[in-house]
Amino acid sequence: MSTLKRFFQDTFIYGLATVLPRLMNFLLLPLLTGSLANASYSDNTTFYIYAAFFNVLLTYGMETSFFRFFSRHKEKNKVFSTAFISLTLTTIFFFALVWTYNVELAHYVNLKLRYFNLLISVIALDTLVVIPFALLRATGRPIKFSIIKVLNIGMYVALNYFFLWMVPKYNISLGFLDYSNDLVTYVFIANLIASLFTFFLLSPYFFKTKLVFDWGILKQFLNYGWPIMIAGLAYVINENFDKWLLPQLLGKDINGAYAACYKIAVFMTIFIQGFRLGAEPFFFNHAKEKNAKNTYALIMKYFVVLGSLMLVFIVAYLHVFKELIVTNPSYWVAIDIVPIVLLANLMLGIYFNLAYWYKLTDKTRFGMYFSILGAVLTIGLNYALIPVIGLMGAAYTTLIAYTVMVVISYLIGRKHYDIPYDLKNIGIYLGLGIGFAFSSFYVFDNNLIIGSLLVFLFLGIIYFKERKYLSQFLQR
């Protein structure tokens, strides 16, 4: 129990490192949707789609590889130093190469040159701090990790408010930084400054570390990590292909609305990200313990319990959230996608939980296969459904792709690393969560009273079924 309790404690701290920045981002969404036209918000979304793609490409699975080998290698400094040197050199090479051909590449990806230059600068800085951040997690320093993450997003949010609210309100002159006719540029400048600040905070790792490079360790990293990179690229497609395709099929205005309403599902994303930050080092560090599989099964069960509860709660109060977060009614044309996207993200969280079987058994190629399958479904179904049912086609595509990945991963995982999941109760909680959430939104038209009753009913069911175990857990 103490091991499990430590997991939840670390996950809670890492969750704060995710929750607080995301909550700060909520302060941004009303600002962005109020300051930017739908088409400009679509450009903002496209910028971060490419950022996500290059982030996966430039880290080439190194972060997860680092966790895998750092946890079991005796010469830990050599593991850190090899990963650090490798990622630094490839990032510098990438930046120099891409900057040389920035005009041609900006035209190819259909971004303004100014956007593209800011994009590759942000990507390079963020990649350089990946391994220092990973070291903080691997060595059990979640508080420092969290503080730096919160400071990063705090600066980003503050700068956005300065550029988009204070500058026009108080008529502040910015001189050569005057982009009043292109406000979205300020969002990207704010990101660059915040990334520079984070790089400065973590820069001591560039100087105090004893630099030792081991080709053997690098080879292990690459063999373990390249399928994770492919899986990561496929994941970026799964998450973002709809927002890349919608401007072409339905226009930038519709895509801006879709992307903004999609952000409401960030509550579920916060929960999943917090779980992953705490789970990744925990799962690797405890893989050799006697009751490891039972612990993993228990974690899965309570992940589904909490995720299903969040699904019901967010959907029950969706009309409240939309008015607080997406203040411009022109964006609300896409609000119907939110319950579907929330459920899709919950399925993605379940998939992430299942995924540790192939990471713990060094069969990361399966993660690549599953993600490629999801990407193929995402591309094919988006092209098939969006022209027929519009925005909802994109949302349903995301849900179908992640659900298929969950089923396939579970079935194959049973043969390689069988974990005794409590399928009966997982199915009950997931089924009730889906039923309550979708009834609240689609049957009762998001009636607040009925939605609240469903939330309390679900809480009552959880308490009734889990009271004995929860009481034991809290007492230890």
Cβ-contact 105, 116 below 8 angstroms: yes
pLDDT value for 418: 82
Write down the pLDDT at residue 1: 45
Residue owning tokens 């899709």: 344
Residues 120-162 have pLDDT tens digits of 999 999 999 998 888 887 777 777 888 888 899 889 999 999 9
For residues 389 and 334, the answer to whether their CB atoms sit within 8 Å is no
Rounded Cα distance, 131 and 355, in Å: 22
**Cα 190 to Cα 310: distance, rounded to the nearest angstrom:** 31
Instruction: Tell me how far the alpha carbon of residue 341 is from its chain's centroid.
Output: 14
Per DSSP, helices labelled H in 101-213 are 102-108, 113-128, 130-138, 142-161, 167-170, 184-202, 204-208
Q: Please state, rounded to an integer, the average pLDDT across all residues of the chain.
A: 85
Task: Count structural domains, the chain.
Answer: 1
Q: Name the stretches of the chain with pLDDT < 50.
A: 1
Angle among Cα 193, 194, 195 to the nearest 5 degrees reads 90
**Residues 119 and 185 sit within 8 Å (Cβ to Cβ):** no
- Judge whether 134 and 63 are in contact, CB under 8 Å: yes
* The Cα angle at residue 98 between residues 96 and 102, in degrees rounded to 5: 120
Structure confidence at residue 6 (pLDDT):
60
Instruction: Give DSSP secondary structure letters for 242-258.
Output: HHHHHHHHT-HHHHHHH
Q: Are 344 and 396 in contact (CB under 8 A)?
A: no
- Whole domain around residue 60: which residue ranges? 2-475
* Whether the Cβ atoms of residue 274 and residue 349 lie closer than 8 Å to each other: no
State the pLDDT at residue 397: 96
pTM greater than 0.85 (yes/no): no
378 with 397: CB under 8 angstroms? yes
The pLDDT assigned to 150 comes to 85
- 8-state DSSP, 440: I
